[in-house]
Amino acid sequence: MPDASRTALRTALRTAWRAEFWAPVASFRDPLFPGLSRGLPLPPPSTVRGLLAAATGERSEPLAFGMAARAEGGGVDAETYHPISADGSNPAVSGRVRAVKGGMTIRDRPFLAHVRLTIWLPGTDGDRIAQALRRPRWPLRLGRSQDLVHPLRLLRTTLRPATTATVDHALAPTGGHDVAQATVHRLAASVSIDRLSTSWSDYLWCDAPTGAHPVRDAYEDDSGQAVWLLAP
């Protein structure tokens, strides 16, 4: 995004909806490690966009939004996979793949427990999505199809340009702050509607509370929480 457009975005968007969610269990596989069950410590922005699209019923939701996420625990579960060969050598029998070589495998699946997600939805698009969250078009899921997410609160807030704010678990672009305990994560920013292409970005995220720190190109909401509006 050009610098002029980014500056205009920071000055034009002043009000937003703060939407809070909770999921008892969620799992986010890292697609940068094919063939391995490596889990991400938070949902990528593309997953959150899918959540918003489920609420509105639209094919995609390309608005800029802020997000923060954390989990209270996690673990590893054993999961059974029934892959189907492209050449049809292990056809499905009674809805399941025949238990021959290549027909079944058990893999470890990392998961997160008690996931807390906060999303800031600015502008007129935020108003539209907030209305949809009151009566979602489709079931709200966070990650896999069986990982249902529960809306907790929907509050009106004001976003103000900030130079110091509480970073905590907010997702920030690289260069957004200099918190020492933050780590860089390469996450999917958005996925095309046909799922054939993915846009990637590097983000800063902390797995522990940080308190107030200097921030760059950021807002703060009414609670003093730092918010970075992430474009797709």
Average the pLDDT over 158-186 and give the result: 96
Tokens 């672009």 found at: 173
pLDDT at 5 over 70: no
Predicted TM-score (pTM) of this structure: 0.85
DSSP string over 103-170:
T-EEEEEEEEEEEEEEEEEEHHHHHHHHHHHHS-SS--BSSSTT-B-EEEEEEEEE-EEEEEEE-TTB
Helix axes 45-56, 123-134, angle to 10 degrees: 60
Indicate the domain borders of the chain: 3-227
**Region 3-227: CATH code:** 3.30.70
pLDDT at 65 over 80: yes
Mean pLDDT of the chain: 87
pLDDT for position 180: 95
